[in-house]
Structure 1
């Protein structure tokens, strides 16, 4: 008999644990005869389809009878009926009433209707409110610690190597909301109540009842989404029958503080209720100063004018200020500099020193590099202000004896090992104490949002056989996001620790910052991201149930169908609006400011942009304190300046610095969606099929041209849209089937209900077995982009295939699923696509990189200098011919987004297990065996590079004489190896920013994604000490106490590759894909203890809870990136254990 070896290995790992827990469940079931007897009576009366359990409609009938008998009113998901009325649960909502501990049994994420998890073939997990409370989970990263196939900032370090070689972009600090991934592929898509939401608004559990995680593409829930998966939030709402008041406070040893309030008031019982929820949260960090401060308030109203009609409305206000701590150590050029003799430089006399010994005049010592801020404006920042502003290099001024040789320099980051080597992050606390100092303290983010929701659930009719329900919903998101995060963030300041090696300033004064440590970089950017989303949804659900028919129609089973339409109107800046700090008034720094006209443009002049330097210590020291940046970054300042004809150095030159918009724009999108799904139940629900299909049409328009007017780009046009629309459309489907082959075998049901011991256990196991198969896909309507050959790129898509088996036993006390999945991202544009833009920029700039050596522009300038009589177009024609391009190709690229695509795939096994042996104990287990790999790297980038290299490496600067005599600077030299401005030699840029990442991508093709871990296992549990029996009876405090915790283990992760054999010059320029480097396995323990009591004369219920997260962790550094020699170059800071204490008052 053929055996699947992967399934066999998974079985050996997971099934022994499952068997042991099954045995315990069986024993527990035997100890509850009274409960079993009651259940048997209920089954005999209400189990109409004889499947051995009460389905949703059967439970509704039972509860309705109980309500009539007792005269009480049932409350279902915030609604309630008047006495004598029966309110059926809306098919568009789920209720936590059937949840048991950490186990939930229904979801909306499979079909958009309330569906049992075991009836869905797709992979959906539900995090209950009880688990959120017990684990002290506040956001998506807390939630992802314990779930299947999910990674947040606690398990995964989202980082990007700076393409300018200045450090690492720390996405954990910059965007913790998005620094996650599902199944190792992509960050989570976010939905609220099934409506797609902005992923930049953080999740906060203060107004959340449950969290649904759908892994892989989900056409029905999120057809327009990334392939990794979707998180759907079940929001809290007003309860019509029960008044409640809750006040909670929380503190932790990292300096965090939180207080939340939840008030529910039925204003007209069973008709109108109002719920007010609010939270003030300060997330603390080990490294100071730092804070992530959030204010959120929500008002929710539920109105049920009739038992068939429910209207809900909510308004939420959100404000966040984030000054987050870095999660990576800085690159250490200080140690490198000291190893080279601590060289320094005097920019006035053009002399350097090594180990205190003067060097020859005009020779920059080894270990230092010129071009430091040569074309930008240096800002010396310390003590909460910009203390000094100056140019780093002088102009030729014979009157003052100044030449361009008089320039400041910086430490060279060039390593002898070659371009693949990166300066290592520091591990020396004498240089940087990663337990104390926040390197990123100068940066901050401010977010504001207003969120509105409205919904209507209307039961149109309902009979024993069929029902028809309508749902209407609207959601608005009006968001403003401002980020001034320079250090360690995208297009900001690299995290490389430097030392100011300049003995004097360019104006001749002694440099007050000489030998002081700093972090700095060239023209960082501020980001603004406005978002306005309006989503409208209509859903119509129809159910026909023929299972109770007395004729042949009963074989047609039950069918639940939904048709839906959605319209989404969105205005947003998908890649942020970009701003630079710019001198706007002084022509000595911005020449265009002197002659502003109706069509002039003064932005993006390198001479008017900043090069901020953040000083963090004293002379001859290392990092001693955090630099919190300047309190005032814009406005009027005094600068140091000398021009070509100045008779004296002006030390008080007035400049006005403002944030000036310079790049990228907004888009208006209209998304129209129609779709439907059908879930069918056959053979007494032993066969459950699901089929869904949707079609999405996306129309996108860009804002009107922001042509410069009076010096600046026209920002008014960012909100005006026109031009030809871009249309995208796609169809996606979901297909699934669940088979329960033994569920209706009467002899098994009899033994399961009335048997004992092993016989009952075997009957429950067999009867509760089911198997399933599912396929689903999604697509992402990406903006129009082209590869380097101007072929339009296809839309990214996601595809998934899943199959497995499950068990549901002992009235859902034990449930388990084992799933094999293969999930693909196809034509994704993330990651490697940026290399295409960089490669093109070597020839000519189309992306705003402002490289100082673009070959086409350089060659055009050569011909203009040699023959001034040439027109610009004539010079460009000659330049294009020289470099092997055509002006037609260059012109056709203008205005186009250049990128490229690649695929990724994730394969593996997933285990989910919930176990509630009794009402005191709950246990949840999540395990994975997963391999996420990059695949099918585009061939076009490599082909383009191969075709261009013969030109790049052979073009020489012309030797033709200039009209006034002499030759071009560097005449006869190779353009490829000639240093040109602040970007240096083209060969070095190419090696670092094109050849290296492209080579790594090609080497990684078919290999595991960075930091992906093949195996993981999470166990989370809670036990109420009242279950100790007589011991609890003799110690009353035990009856209101509980203990719990989790164990989280993951295998080693691949974090890089060793270098291949060196080339003839001894330099390693490629990686060996057969030599991966791994880190160590990780294991963490979380603990929690809670105690309930009543205070203030037994009037106020109070709950005290202590959580210890990562209880066995003392704090350390963990390597997350390696150089070709296997030595770490990047280190994640692992914080020590966190103590969280929460007090909750039920008022």
Structure 2
């Protein structure tokens, strides 16, 4: 390809030279400020139980340079910009032996990147490259344009042949073993007109950007070309709210603990403001019946050379299902984020008696359940993901344990031996953990559970 490899296949060495100017320049100003206040014991008197109280407030703006980033119509995307507000208090007891910190926050972000939308963002337009390429493959292979039993001069169909298999019959055209579906498309009587028909399905604003074209090479083969989009992506806005509580302290001379409890909820909005409406516009064109017929482009096989049963409609349904899922999650609390997380760590040190020098401790880690798939629902004849009733993966609770013994061997040499049992407790045991469900509730992807580990260490300090 010109600009990547020369036509004769030799490498274009000019690509090794860096440009003098950067590909993009992103800049902005942000402001961050905070304030901390402490209870004035000198003015208001001492607090009981050796307490201290401080309060805090914090605001910050964030800016993320995005580099080259464009939507499906090759329009540049603004860099993500957000703001965070936090406030809370820290209360300590017993001269700082025990501390409780509480924090509430809200983060607002505009133009956050959606990423590939599970691989379907690129297919909003990229499916046309697939449709054109598969017909080019059919032509290059020498596949006859019309199915066996079809007479293009008279339009007649021989009984018992592939030509009699129509979208409305059983078996249908999807079970054909010969030819393409050109006989089902009004006005298509050659491979050239087949390409023109597919190109005619592409919205004009899309074709003006991608310039899909059919290039016939000297050897007679067909090559489908288009203008690529650099940094293809999409955007969404979101608001995340939550709170955190941290409790740390040495409750007694022997017992210490640390507890963290976190809650977070996120609501997205304005997801895929260009990609999603465009996908629905293309879907409408694909599902528009031909004049006077009870079927349209949606019923035409998309890969006749490979004798696949997929059609333009079924193939593009994968794209629009993801777009509907993304749009349906807007303005709802995200179920794909764990709402609660809890971590607890504790240790007990034996300071006297026969166990002096020994310690025992452990930790627990909890994560709330999370949505890993969505069933379908039928709304006015349209199959939609049921965002309000997702399939959930299990919540998780894992625990560790350790035992330690420390003693002085000489005046200058200390010895510590410690046994760790990592993931000694696993709520889900050794069972595989589902992380993706198909719409019918079938597990489609699993994660291997965390392994249990046991190890002993000896440490000499001098």
Tell whether the structures are fold-level matches, with TM greater than 0.5.
Answer: yes
Q: Check conservation: 1:1011, 1:1120, Cα contact below 8 A.
A: no
Counterpart check, 1:784 vs 2:68: yes
Alignment CA distance shift 1:804-1:985 (3 Å): same
Provide the residue aligned with 2:204 in structure 1.
885
Q: Check conservation: 1:852, 1:981, Cα contact below 8 A.
A: no
Alpha-carbon separation, structure 2, partners of 1:1003 and 1:830: 14
Work out which of the residue numbers 252, 257, 260 in structure 2 matches 1:926. 260
1:711 Cα offset (Å): 2.1
- After TM superposition, the structure 1 = structure 2 runs for residues 42-191 of structure 1, keeping only pairs within 5 Å, are none
Alignment CA distance shift 1:859-1:933 (3 Å): farther
- 1:230-263 deviation per Cα after TM superposition (whole angstroms, max 9, x unaligned): xxxxxxxxxxxxxxxxxxxxxxxxxxxxxxxxxx
Provide the residue aligned with 1:1107 in structure 2.
420
- After TM superposition, the structure 1 = structure 2 runs for residues 415-494 of structure 1, keeping only pairs within 5 Å, are none
Alignment CA distance shift 1:997-1:712 (3 Å): farther
1:979 Cα offset (Å): 2.4
Provide the residue aligned with 2:232 in structure 1.
898
Q: Check conservation: 1:952, 1:976, Cα contact below 8 A.
A: no
Provide the residue aligned with 2:458 in structure 1.
1143
Provide the residue aligned with 1:1085 in structure 2.
399
Provide the residue aligned with 1:1017 in structure 2.
342
Alpha-carbon separation, structure 1, partners of 2:43 and 2:436: 57
Q: Check conservation: 2:132, 2:195, Cα contact below 8 A.
A: no
Question: Normalising by the residue count of structure 1, what TM-score does the alignment of the two structures yield?
Answer: 0.31
- 1:1048-1069 deviation per Cα after TM superposition (whole angstroms, max 9, x unaligned): 23333333333213876xxx83
Q: Check conservation: 1:933, 1:1009, Cα contact below 8 A.
A: yes
Q: Check conservation: 1:1104, 1:1144, Cα contact below 8 A.
A: yes
Structure 1 SS opposite 2:210: helix
Q: Check conservation: 1:860, 1:878, Cα contact below 8 A.
A: no
Q: Check conservation: 1:999, 1:1071, Cα contact below 8 A.
A: yes
Provide the residue aligned with 1:678 in structure 2.
none
Provide the residue aligned with 1:1134 in structure 2.
449
Provide the residue aligned with 2:376 in structure 1.
1059
Counterpart check, 1:1075 vs 2:389: yes
Q: Check conservation: 1:843, 1:856, Cα contact below 8 A.
A: no
1:820 Cα offset (Å): 1.1
Counterpart check, 1:814 vs 2:98: yes
Q: Check conservation: 2:38, 2:54, Cα contact below 8 A.
A: yes
1:1074 Cα offset (Å): 2.5
Alpha-carbon separation, structure 1, partners of 2:366 and 2:97: 25
Structure 2 SS opposite 1:1039: coil
Alpha-carbon separation, structure 1, partners of 2:132 and 2:228: 19
Work out which of the residue numbers 262, 276, 281 in structure 2 matches 1:947. 281
Number of residue pairs the alignment of both structures matches: 392
Provide the residue aligned with 1:915 in structure 2.
249
- 1:933-979 deviation per Cα after TM superposition (whole angstroms, max 9, x unaligned): 433312322221222224334598xxxxxxxxxxxxxxx98774332
1:784 Cα offset (Å): 2.5
Work out which of the residue numbers 730, 748, 758 in structure 1 matches 2:28. 730
Work out which of the residue numbers 312, 316, 320 in structure 2 matches 1:986. 312
1:890 Cα offset (Å): 2.8
1:1142 Cα offset (Å): 2.1
- After TM superposition, the structure 1 = structure 2 runs for residues 203-222 of structure 1, keeping only pairs within 5 Å, are none
- After TM superposition, the structure 1 = structure 2 runs for residues 219-258 of structure 1, keeping only pairs within 5 Å, are none
Alignment CA distance shift 1:918-1:1078 (3 Å): same
Structure 1 SS opposite 2:389: strand
Structure 2 SS opposite 1:1074: coil
Unaligned runs of 5+ in 2: 146-186, 212-225, 291-295
Structure 2 SS opposite 1:1115: coil
- 1:486-530 deviation per Cα after TM superposition (whole angstroms, max 9, x unaligned): xxxxxxxxxxxxxxxxxxxxxxxxxxxxxxxxxxxxxxxxxxxxx
Provide the residue aligned with 2:54 in structure 1.
770
1:722 Cα offset (Å): 4.3
Structure 2 SS opposite 1:717: helix
Provide the residue aligned with 2:170 in structure 1.
none
Provide the residue aligned with 1:842 in structure 2.
127
Question: Normalising by the residue count of structure 2, what TM-score does the alignment of the two structures yield?
Answer: 0.72
1:1041 Cα offset (Å): 1.8
1:786 Cα offset (Å): 2.5
Structure 2 SS opposite 1:1069: strand
Provide the residue aligned with 1:977 in structure 2.
301
Alignment CA distance shift 1:949-1:1071 (3 Å): closer
- 1:341-363 deviation per Cα after TM superposition (whole angstroms, max 9, x unaligned): xxxxxxxxxxxxxxxxxxxxxxx
Alpha-carbon separation, structure 2, partners of 1:1010 and 1:708: 50
1:712 Cα offset (Å): 5.2
1:718 Cα offset (Å): 4.6
Alpha-carbon separation, structure 2, partners of 1:858 and 1:953: 24
Provide the residue aligned with 2:18 in structure 1.
720
Alignment CA distance shift 1:743-1:1119 (3 Å): farther
